[in-house]
Amino acid sequence: MRTIDDLGDLSGKKVLLRSDLNVPLDGKKIGDDGRIRASVPTIKKLTEQGAQVIVCAHLGRPKGEPEDKYSLAPVAERLAELLGSSVEFATDTVGESAKEKVDAMKDGDVVLLENLRFNAGETSKNEAERGKFADELACLADVFVSDGFGVVHRKQASVYDVAQKLPHGAGDLVQDEVKVLERLTKDPEKPYAVVLGGAKVSDKLGVIDNLLKTADMLVIGGGMVFTFLAAQGHEVGKSLLEKDQIDTVKGYLEQAEKDGVEIVLPTDVVAATEFSADADHEVVAADAIPSDRMGLDIGPESAKVFAEKVKSAKTVFWNGPMGAFEMEPYAAGTKELAGALVEATKNGALTVVGGGDSAAAVRQLGFEDSDFTHISTGGGASLEYLEGKELPGLSVLES
């Protein structure tokens, strides 16, 4: 994979930098700035070389046209604070504002373009439309650096097509992410524990299938666990359940038993009358969830078992919270698991928190990024890498 170092002297060059600045916004307030902070080292590396850095990124899922709620303007302000220097903000992506800001750049300057997805060409399935937008982006710069790991699994104009139109290389963040994921897939140190949570088992089918070949244990929590419990014949009440995946999960349970992979499921859960912090809730046996309740967290006994399993491992990959951690009554399972990962890290284990909700959870619950070996910026990209899929945003950097 080509890197920044393969691009030679960048002094005075205009560098189009694809970052991942897709952060949660509440109005104009940024909920978790982890991805912005993760983008800073590569930006600084380029500006210190005298490059003129044109940062491009997306936020949310606008429909190919401008929407105020998805503007990157608040991100530009936070990025400037983290860089300790000014960041010019273009109010469009390839229009008059972008061209004006880019033309006025001096060495070491940073410009952030408005949300890429305000242009339909960014995510178009039509190669010609996507290519046209990539041409317009490429016209702004001399070279392209790909540093948005959270989007490298997407064949999009700013990720894939533009790399074919400019000299290109991977930024430091992308390189670091790939190095960590290689450690998870190429002869990981044993015991290897994979902790999976989140809402749906269907989101994790490919990764479960592939990890059954390499992991020693799969620890399952979150909303997806109820499909596993149903596959074992248990009543799950009003809990999230994907009935169409029950047979698939039965197959995984059988395969795991055959291959000697331990599947760790909760023995107790916190069950509530409705999805609300104020709802009546209680700890019940995982195999006896009342018909009028839904499971919203793993129970205290399960949290202890999950924690011990994690602390016994030399390699841990965690993707997906154990419950509805955003609500205090259902955060305990995720918090105890995170604490176990911290302890495993101190004991020398490789601990990887796989982006998205997991990264937001550990920060919201008071943990620091440095408490873990690595917090990924790309949940979906990490999962697809672990599935063994080819990621177009990486493969395009190989030539």
> In which band, very low, low, confident or very high, does the pLDDT at 137 lie, cut at 50, 70 and 90?
very high
Give the pLDDT of residue 399: 82
CA distance 198 to 277: 18
Which contiguous run of DSSP H or E holds residue 337?
helix 332-346
Return the structure tokens found at 147: 């540093």
For 228-280, strand residue ranges (E) read: 262-264, 268-272
Four-residue CA torsion sign, 110, 163, 155, 102: positive
Give the pLDDT of residue 49: 97
- The per-residue pLDDT for range 90-118, each reduced to its tens digit, is 999 999 999 999 999 999 999 999 999 99
- The per-residue pLDDT for range 363-372, each reduced to its tens digit, is 989 999 999 9
pLDDT greater than 90 at residue 360: no
Nearest in space to 335 (alpha carbons), one of 312, 310, 366: 366
Return the structure tokens found at 207: 């990764």
Active site residue 320: no
- The per-residue pLDDT for range 195-215, each reduced to its tens digit, is 999 888 898 888 999 999 999
Options 34, 131, 150, 356, the catalytic residue: 356
Give all domains of the chain, ordered by start, each with its CATH number. Answer: 4-171 (3.40.50.1260), 179-387 (3.40.50.1260)
pLDDT, average across residues 203-230: 94
Return the structure tokens found at 158: 């700013």
CA distance 123 to 310: 39
Active site residue 356: yes
CA distance 272 to 254: 31
pLDDT greater than 90 at residue 232: yes
Active site residue 380: yes
pLDDT, average across residues 330-346: 97
Options 200, 250, 314, 389, the catalytic residue: 200
Options 14, 35, 293, 309, the catalytic residue: 35
CA distance 216 to 315: 10
Active site residue 121: no
Q: How many distinct helices (H) and strands (E) make up the chain?
A: 13, 17
Q: Are 34 and 89 in contact (CB under 8 A)?
A: no
Please tell me the pTM assigned to this model: 0.90
Binding residue numbers: 20-22, 35, 58-61, 117, 154, 204, 295, 326, 355-358
pLDDT, average across residues 107-130: 98
Return the structure tokens found at 96: 């008059």
